[in-house]
Amino acid sequence: MLEYCLNCDYENALELKREPVIITVRGEAIETIEEFYHCPACGEKFTSSLGHDALEEAYREYRSRHHLVQPEEIRHWREDYGLTLTELSLMLEWNEATLNRFEQGALQDASDDKWLKFIMVPQNLLYLIISKPETLRREKREQLITQLSTNRKVVEALQQFYSLLLENFSDFSKLRSNAIQLRANT
Ligand SMILES: [Zn+2]
């Protein structure tokens, strides 16, 4: 579809151009590609409506540099568990619009990202589902608890956790018996 220049009263067809541009994201210079329409007659630039968004690309690059979760990772992960925006935002204690913005490409800050990564670990999600029963319908809650508690990663993590407890518990009981012996010897 041809686009025409607003300045030249629609006489000139615009050219679609892509040029490198530097965008500063949180003080960091990120090179990305800007897509725009250019009028060969008057030189005016118009925003492209084709969907390539330089800011979005810059955010994506910033996230990958800083190991932040990408928007589609959040959405895919949420959908894999069949959680709605409302349910997940209740669990995160965020308002739904905030979660939706992150899924749509808004740049999260480091603390929001930590919280997201925390809940994306299956045993943490299980913990949240158990500790916040009001956030899900009963059947969905039960189904997710079953699904998560048989998840291999969760089982392994819980096994590690319990062996850690046991180890420390036996140390603790050894310490206690030593202390009793000491007391008996004095
Ligand atoms: Zn023009």
The structure tokens listed for 171 are: 């140390």
Q: pLDDT band at 186, cuts 50/70/90?
A: low
Note whether 51 and 100 are same-domain residues: no
Number of domains in the chain: 2
Residue 59: other Cβ atoms inside 10 A:
23
pTM for the full model? 0.77
Q: Decide if 104 contacts 72 (C-beta within 8 A).
A: no
Amino acid identity, position 154 = V
Closest Cα partner for 70 from 44, 102, 48?
102
Note whether 54 and 81 are same-domain residues: no
pLDDT tens string 123-174? 999 999 999 999 999 999 999 999 999 989 889 988 888 888 777 776 655 6
Distance 14 CA to ligand 1 centre (A): 8
CA distance 154 to 160: 10
Distance 43 CA to ligand 1 centre (A): 6
Note whether 91 and 124 are same-domain residues: yes
Note whether 39 and 88 are same-domain residues: no
Note whether 76 and 148 are same-domain residues: yes
Is 172 a member of any domain?
no
3 state SS of 17: strand
Note whether 58 and 101 are same-domain residues: no
Note whether 61 and 75 are same-domain residues: no
pLDDT tens string 59-73? 999 999 999 999 999
Is 122 a member of any domain?
yes
Q: What domain range includes position 78?
A: 71-155
Note whether 109 and 129 are same-domain residues: yes
Q: Decide if 116 contacts 74 (C-beta within 8 A).
A: yes
pLDDT tens string 75-105? 999 999 999 999 999 999 999 999 999 999 9
Apex 32 CA angle, 31 and 36, nearest 5: 135
Examine the pLDDT at 184 and tell me if it is beyond 90: no
Note whether 60 and 105 are same-domain residues: no
Note whether 27 and 90 are same-domain residues: no
Note whether 91 and 136 are same-domain residues: yes
Strand partners, 29: 24
Distance 61 CA to ligand 1 centre (A): 33
